[in-house]
Structure 1
Amino acid sequence: MSTLHVLSHSPFSDDRLTSCLRLIGSADALLLAGDAVYALQPDSAPFFALQERKIKLYVLIEDAQARAIEIPDWAEAIDYPAFVELSIQHDKVNSWL
């Protein structure tokens, strides 16, 4: 059973990303949306944590562009239709509110 984890809060304001990374399974995926894309700021602790885990990582392209965040080659940029597709492909969707 796989879960799509969706984060939308900045990793610099709380510990949702840390909690998510602790719980995410090998069949799961993580989608960064909204302010969560700030986790991809180069040389930041969240950036290194994501890079180190080597999980299936997706980033909403519109949110990254709006915040001038570059998406690294180890993450996949997606749009909203692809987000819907990802939601269908996984057994569960867990939004970290």
Structure 2
Amino acid sequence: MAILHILSHSPFTDSRLSSCLRLLGAGDALLLTGDAVYALQSGTAHLQALQGMPGNVALYALDEDLAARALQAPERALVVDYAQFVELCTRYDKVNSWL
């Protein structure tokens, strides 16, 4: 069962990102929204961890949140808009929001 994991909290304030990364399975996906997009800042351990995810785990970032924080997504991350966000939620068997 493929799961879409959604993170919205900054990786610099708690351990949700590292906890999520430990639970990702083959075919799962991780969508970064809100302050979670800060994990994509170059030169950080968070970005290294994301780039080290297996190739069969998709990484997405919400374009509006990247723009609001003047960040650019690395090649590893696919940038999605809100319509694609909704489509992702229907594509996976389960959606897990890390509140």
With structure 1 as the length reference, what TM-score do the two structures score? 0.98
TM-score (structure 2 length as normaliser) = 0.96
Tell me the CA shift for residue 73 of structure 1: 1.1
- Where does residue 15 of structure 1 map in the other structure? 15
Q: Give the alignment partner of residue 90 of structure 1, picking from 86, 89, 92.
A: 92
Which one-letter code corresponds to 1:38 in the other structure?
Y
Could you tell me which residue of structure 1 aligns to residue 53 of structure 2? 53
Instruction: Give the CA deviation at 1:38.
Output: 0.1
Determine the C-alpha separation between the residues in 2 that align with 1:84 and 1:65. Answer: 19
Q: Which runs of 5+ in 1 are unaligned?
A: none
Percentage identity across aligned positions?
60
Amino acid at match of 1:21: L
In structure 2, distance between residues paired with 1:53 and 1:41: 16
Say which SS state the counterpart of residue 52 (structure 2) adopts.
Answer: helix
> Displacement of 1:6 after TM fit?
0.0
Instruction: Point out 4+ residue stretches in structure 1 off by more than 6 angstroms.
Output: none
May I ask how many residue pairs the two structures share in their alignment? 97
Distance 1:80 1:51 in 2: 23
- Cα-to-partner distance string for 1:1-44 (whole Å, 9 max, x where unaligned): 11000000000000000000000101100000000000000010
In structure 2, runs of 5+ residues without a counterpart are none
AA in 2 matched with 1:69: L
